[in-house]
A and B are shown apart, each in its own frame.
Chain A
């Protein structure tokens, strides 16, 4: 099976596996206690915190571990809103944020707050002047913008948006789940969220960083864990493994990014050359190194995924027929691009070039067969 779905989850990095096994033996005790094994766990936890903070460009005391990237986003968005309750009840988000941001926004709306969604260009890049205008309005409590889109790979102008937020005195919540460990975190965030399993760490570790001086208040009941930002017992071995993966990724990223990006360029060029009536989606240049999305006209996404699975390729899709909601992806809708026949290819670290070539070889015939079944010539 060729695994082309790294954006859903990156396979566990060998360095993380090794660290996890070692930490299960020595890092199991309660890091909040004072005896030897507990102090050892505390040491491991704080060392991992310092390492991850360094790679992400945060201070160790700004960074807390959550149980997932989704939890980090929920806490980040709702905590920023809660901390700025007196300043206003208005939240500004881009239309292509991850569902965890939009669902947090939905909770805020349900609690009487208001949400403004800023649109994006055909490339998926947020309309920066509109975003800057929206955050400058009266009563804005917080804004949220992703570093890179999880479905189409387009990078967002986070540094520029952060500058607009700074000028307006509005905290910016940055969802870095898709880019952390691959690209440097852009400057200017007030709250940062990321997810370890996206960079090759284990599942069950998210990162929430709150910049010094940012007003942030947990929407949860009080708990003394994780600098009082995240409730619940820490998973020290998983956090240690997450740090090992991030450190390894950061060391590899220059060479591996260039290799993956060249493979993505090949897919972007070859798919429309080999398959008629295809739209390659997302910004061709300002994009994640490992992710590309395209839509095939007159094809249903589910059939395409099933056929690719049979041929030994794991990919994902934003088409409605592949979603539990039977709605097309809100990202593709907001961009105004074709939502049916959609395929997202995201390359894991170390993928053999041959996997990509075989994908490009089998794709044209699979698309032709699916079209034939639908009566398209």
Chain B
């Protein structure tokens, strides 16, 4: 048994369906291991206007921690991470500059 912080695990009780708000750009990194999802994000962050939101779809548990950490290091904004019904997350990032 491995003991982890709770957030990356799916919630025990069935949650109300999460409505993921629209994003200016969606990057599909499902099935890709870190650091690939972050490399894809870094490559494409310039494609949206400043203030717009990029949605990174990822299911590598490292991405759940690493994309918000990347935002902190690069002074972009981590908006929210939404659980996907099929597993993984839609991790929303706002371009700040």
Residues of A within 8 A of B (CB): 95, 99, 102-103, 105-106, 110, 117, 277, 279, 297-300, 319-321, 325, 327-328, 330, 332-334, 336-341, 374-376
Interface residues of B, count at CB 8 A: 24
Query: Which of B1, B4, B36, B69 lies in contact with A338, CB distance below 8 A?
Result: B69
State whether B4 touches A330 (Cβ < 8 A): yes
State whether B69 touches A102 (Cβ < 8 A): no
State whether B5 touches A333 (Cβ < 8 A): yes
From DSSP, what is the main secondary structure of chain B's interface residues? helix
Task: Report how far A16 CA is from B7 CA in the complex, Å.
Answer: 45
* Residues of chain B lying within 8 A (CB to CB) of residue A332: 65
State whether A300 touches B34 (Cβ < 8 A): yes
Chain B residues 43 to 97 lying within 8 A of chain A, measured CB to CB, are: 60-62, 64-66, 68-70, 72-73
State whether B3 touches A99 (Cβ < 8 A): yes
Asked if B31 is an interface residue, CB under 8 A from chain A, the answer is no
Residues of B within 8 A of A (CB): 1-5, 8, 33-36, 38-39, 42, 60-62, 64-66, 68-70, 72-73
Output the nearest chain A residue to B2 by Cβ-Cβ distance: A325
State whether B42 touches A340 (Cβ < 8 A): no
Task: Report how far A117 CA is from B61 CA in the complex, Å.
Answer: 19
Output the nearest chain B residue to A375 by Cβ-Cβ distance: B39
Output the least CB separation between A101 and chain B (Å): 9
Top 8 A-B pairs, shortest CB-CB distance: A102-B3, A340-B34, A340-B35, A338-B69, A328-B62, A320-B62, A333-B65, A106-B1
Q: Could you count the A-B residue pairs with CB atoms below 8 Å apart for me: how many are there?
A: 84
State whether B35 touches A333 (Cβ < 8 A): no
Query: Which of B3, B39, B60, B66 lies in contact with A330, CB distance below 8 A?
Result: B3
* Residues of chain B lying within 8 A (CB to CB) of residue A102: 3
Q: Could you list some 25 contacts between A and B, CB below 8 A?
A: A103-B1, A103-B3, A117-B5, A297-B73, A299-B35, A300-B35, A320-B61, A320-B62, A327-B2, A328-B34, A328-B66, A330-B3, A332-B65, A333-B4, A333-B64, A336-B65, A337-B65, A338-B65, A338-B69, A338-B73, A339-B62, A339-B65, A339-B69, A340-B34, A340-B38
From DSSP, what is the main secondary structure of chain A's interface residues? loop
* Residues of chain A lying within 8 A (CB to CB) of residue B61: 320, 327-328
State whether B69 touches A279 (Cβ < 8 A): yes
Task: Report how far A327 CA is from B4 CA in the complex, Å.
Answer: 9
Beyond A279-B69, A279-B73, A320-B60, is A95–B38 a contact (Cβ under 8 Å)? Answer: no
* Residues of chain B lying within 8 A (CB to CB) of residue A297: 35, 38, 42, 70, 73
Task: Report how far A277 CA is from B65 CA in the complex, Å.
Answer: 17
Listed residue (A277, A279, A340, A375) with the most chain B CB atoms within 10 angstroms of its CB: A340
Task: Report how far A99 CA is from B4 CA in the complex, Å.
Answer: 10
Task: Report how far A348 CA is from B60 CA in the complex, Å.
Answer: 34
State whether B35 touches A298 (Cβ < 8 A): yes
Task: Report how far A339 CA is from B65 CA in the complex, Å.
Answer: 7
Task: Report how far A103 CA is from B1 CA in the complex, Å.
Answer: 7
Task: Report how far A95 CA is from B6 CA in the complex, Å.
Answer: 10
* Residues of chain A lying within 8 A (CB to CB) of residue B70: 297, 338
Query: Which of A279, A298, A340 lies in contact with B62, CB distance below 8 A?
Result: A340
